[in-house]
Structure 1
């Protein structure tokens, strides 16, 4: 199985054609994003304009997305952001998602995506890669332990914040 891992690229100053290409490249990933949300038993709803939002965030460097595929078949994806540790004053990479279609697990696809994320973090000068996975996801925990990662037990909390009218995600698109 010859798997290719590529980074989705869009540039902030890119022409509309380049942004459209990034949206098109992200379109088949949407199905995996939705599958991942279901897998993690999340109530999150992937917005209708997800591809456009992700292309925009990719263009400004806020998110990096890697896609694993064979020819035109998308097998999995990884997405990451850069964060700052106020304790150390250093940046680190946050692996937001790493998901492989169940039909392709156990074939090294996850490891290729993980390695791409680590290589990218290294290339931009990050000193660490951090992420979380549900405690019930024994397969993911075993996978991450095999990479040499160290577990750091913490509770994860979320708090919905209702945006104001001038900070609503949809208001940015009309500016």
Structure 2
């Protein structure tokens, strides 16, 4: 037992040092855009703001695994969304502006940051790319249509 003590201490120190290291960001461009445009309401790391902006740490990862969910994510960023929504039994009454002025690549990057860096679970979702966002841009939606579309996506995913 006495001989195991140095080994146990080394394992404890290695574990502690790993916990102290910042998590690697796969989509740094998306993080920069998120930090500059989205974090003011959704907060750092997408944790949300009670009563105002919903957290982004769970649902987007689930959305990104289906065609309808991916469209919802893209349309929300492009056109905005307003109205009361519920996430995990909490209600948020948010008026999210559209960010259609961003390039297709910037929107793809920010969605990838949210889905793959902020969300721990994203199923077998593939990363967004500029061509996918360009195709979503062809829709002529407004924020109220995006809001209605969200209900169908939520029901379809069982959330």
- The structure with more helix, counted as a fraction of residues: 2
* Band the TM-score falls in, shorter-chain normalisation: under 0.3
- The structure with more strand, counted as a fraction of residues: 1
TM-score by length of 1: 0.26
Q: Say which structure, 1 or 2, has more relative contact order (CA 8 Å, 6+ apart).
A: 2
Question: Whose Rg is larger?
Answer: 2
TM-score by length of 2: 0.28
